[in-house]
């Protein structure tokens, strides 16, 4: 498939075989395959080869007490990950895994992202939200079911908008208090119930920076497994460049030119900020904006 | 704001005032405002005036035992909805509310969609998914918190792709077994953990109809409060028109021309199918496809 903008953490070579995961018998048959393999994880983080590729073991490596998560088929090889329901959920700390993602080809990061998101989802959803009873893994890791009230629960995916406001040839970048020093990025926020993507972009730009969107153009999307976001990148021409920052969300923000963003993406020593890493869609968004030949604002 | 494609259930005139809802004191002050008003609901369905407008009462109409959901500000009027935590969740039945949505201006349907999604989310999430304890409403209805483990829970929004496969000037429409007679629509499915929108479109088209996407173009989005979807409409040129249907998902599918879709959208008696209602993004998607001047496939 051709992508308009190729984002990181996409393009897994594993085909999610939904027709298998919905059948316990079909999953059991895949488990018994001599080609079956198990993703090597150190808790939630990947074990990597020197080339940034994921490491796989045999089904005999399954840790004690681990359920199996069926990731899908890589050609005729069934791919599983160990699903340890009880375990740490790391929260918003600085992740060591970011250094690993930096080395991984996007296809490998994509496979890993699905496994990580699912395992972390299970850990935060051991109990039925409808009645409070401990629920059980179903569909080879792609759901949970409550034995008391029969409610089915499916993995959560949180849509997030991430956007560049644009005004007279400049784009708006900001920094959250938790960012590493000198890092600036596109503004972002969760889509709320009852909102379109376009409305969430406009609301977040106004809430966080006090700027009013005139229109919203969607560019590209990417999964983000910390823990389970779907990032949707947009560009939004705005009415005015006067900023009113919500300092809880943004400790600083600035308008930058295409030349300045290009310098930051290139890691130039005199660049005005340190750009997000290449595997983050904010990087793709900044690059797409720099490379766009005309401002349509 | 200019929309590339105006979808139904968008454009609420109520500004979601996040700075108010995060403060119990600020919410209490809004409650005491003489301009405060309360959305009239019959369980989850709206009460409508003859013009399809939502009906509002005063804060004195608050039902016994109802929490308050702060929807935001309409000018200087604080808008609330009654949040009855225990109640029916209707599931996938044919909704009477669809006939009401048919009469409502999109701005009104947008306001209603946020309220309905939130109330239904609370009803399905009374218990902490992390530890099983009954949790409590926080942030004026925009979250829940567990008194035992302190976990915070935020309303769920499920991203869904809805797409027209396109091949040699024709588009693919299908019907799910639960559709009313002769209704056909765009294919659709939930975005899974670890997937981009574009990947979900490609996977769903292949799983449900056996067609392979060559590219994916995003068009527009819409909230869909049954119970909490974010619909994202795309067009996907595909490699071939040979269909292999997943008959669990689609009981029939067919390739239709722009003339045929135009006839269906117009409700012509000889149209090949009954189109989705005007307030559904599938309608917007079909209309946008008919009106696109060139097939870029």
pLDDT digits (tens, 9 = 90+) for B156-176: 999 999 999 999 999 999 999
Report the pLDDT averaged over residues B140-148: 98
pLDDT at site B39: 98
Q: Is the domain B158-290 a CATH 3.40.50.300 member?
A: no
| SS3 of residue B38 by DSSP | strand
Interface test with A, best of B196, B226, B228, B249 (most A CBs within 10 A): B196
Q: Is A284 on the interface with B (CB under 8 A)?
A: no
What is the largest distance, in Å, between two alpha-carbon atoms of chain A? 63
User: What whole-number percentage of chain A has pLDDT above 70?
Assistant: 97
Instruction: Find the CB nearest A127 among B12, B131, B154.
Output: B131
Residue A185 distance to chain B (closest CA, Å): 20
Tokens 């769920």, residue located: B156
Query: Looking at domain B18-153, which of 3.90.79.20, 3.40.50.300, 3.40.50.620, 3.30.420.40 is its CATH number?
Result: 3.90.79.20
Question: pLDDT band for position B91 (50/70/90)?
Answer: low
User: What whole-number percentage of chain B has pLDDT above 90?
Assistant: 90
Instruction: Find the CB nearest B194 among A134, A197, A225.
Output: A225
Residue B193 to residue A217, Cβ atoms within 8 A: no
What residue of A is the nearest CA neighbor of B19?
A207
Main-chain phi, psi angles of A228, to 5 degrees: -160, 50
Distance of CA B117 to the CA centre of its chain: 8
ipTM reported for the complex, 2 dp = 0.96
Length reported for chain B = 297
Domain with CATH 3.90.79.20 in chain B: 18-153
B contact residues 218-257, partner A, Cβ 8 Å cutoff = 218, 220-223, 225, 228, 230, 232, 246
Residue A203 to residue B133, Cβ atoms within 8 A: no
B contact residues 191-210, partner A, Cβ 8 Å cutoff = 191-199, 202-203, 207
User: What whole-number percentage of chain B has pLDDT above 70?
Assistant: 97
pLDDT at site B297: 41
Q: Is B6 on the interface with A (CB under 8 A)?
A: no
Report the pLDDT averaged over residues B251-273: 97
Tokens 């400790």, residue located: A251
**Lookup: tokens for B294:** 């060139």
Q: Is B127 on the interface with A (CB under 8 A)?
A: yes
Mark residue B83 as left, alpha or beta (left: phi above 0; alpha: psi -120 to 50; beta: remaining): beta
**Residue A47: which of A91, A125, A108 has the closest Cα?**
A108
Report the pLDDT averaged over residues B91-106: 81
**Residue A21: which of A112, A63, A86, A83 has the closest Cα?**
A83
CA-to-CA distance for B42 and B241, rounded, in angstroms?
46
What's the CATH superfamily of A158-291?
A: Nucleoside Triphosphate Pyrophosphohydrolase (3.90.79.10)
Q: Enumerate residues 6+ apart whose C-beta is below 8 A from B269.
A: none
Q: What ranges in chain B are assigned the alpha helix state H?
A: 18-21, 24-32, 97-103, 106-124, 197-209, 258-265, 281-291
CA-to-CA distance for B165 and B238, rounded, in angstroms?
6
Instruction: Find the CB nearest B157 among A110, A191, A213.
Output: A191
Q: What are the pLDDT digits (tens) for A138-169?
A: 999 999 999 999 999 999 999 999 999 999 99
Question: pLDDT band for position B50 (50/70/90)?
Answer: confident
pLDDT at site A10: 97
Instruction: Show residues of chain B in contact with A153, CB under 8 Å.
Output: 129
């Amino acid at each position: 498939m051709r992508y308009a903008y190729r984002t990181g953490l996409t393009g897994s070579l594993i085909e999610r075989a939904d027709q298998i995961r919905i059948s316990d018998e079909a999953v059991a048959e895949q488990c018994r395959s001599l080609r079956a393999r198990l993703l090597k994880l150190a808790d939630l983080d990947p074990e990597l080869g020197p080339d940034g590729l994921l490491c796989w073991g045999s089904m005999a490596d399954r840790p004690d007490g681990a359920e199996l998560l069926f990731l899908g088929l890589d050609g005729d090889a069934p791919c599983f990950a160990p699903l340890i329901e009880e375990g740490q959920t790391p929260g918003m700390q600085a992740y060591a895994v970011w250094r690993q993602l930096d080395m991984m080809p996007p296809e490998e990061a994509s496979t890993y992202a699905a496994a990580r998101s699912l395992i972390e989802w299970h850990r935060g959803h051991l109990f039925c939200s409808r009645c409070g009873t401990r629920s059980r893994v179903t569909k080879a890791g792609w759901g949970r079911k409550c034995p008391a009230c029969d409610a089915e629960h499916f993995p959560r995916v949180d849509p997030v908008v991430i956007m560049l406001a644009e005004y007279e040839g400049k784009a708006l970048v900001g920094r959250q208090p938790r960012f590493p020093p000198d890092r600036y990025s596109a503004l972002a926020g969760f889509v709320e119930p009852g909102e379109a993507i376009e409305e969430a972009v406009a609301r977040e730009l106004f809430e966080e920076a006090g700027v009013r969107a005139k229109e919203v153009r969607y560019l590209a999307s990417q999964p983000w497994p910390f823990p389970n976001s779907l990032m949707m990148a947009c560009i939004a021409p705005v009415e005015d460049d006067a900023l009113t920052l919500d300092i809880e969300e943004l400790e600083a923000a600035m308008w930058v030119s295409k030349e300045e963003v290009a310098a930051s993406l290139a890691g130039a020593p005199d660049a005005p900020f340190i750009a997000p890493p290449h595997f983050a869609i904010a990087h793709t968004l900044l690059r797409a904006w720099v490379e766009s030949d005309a401002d349509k604002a």
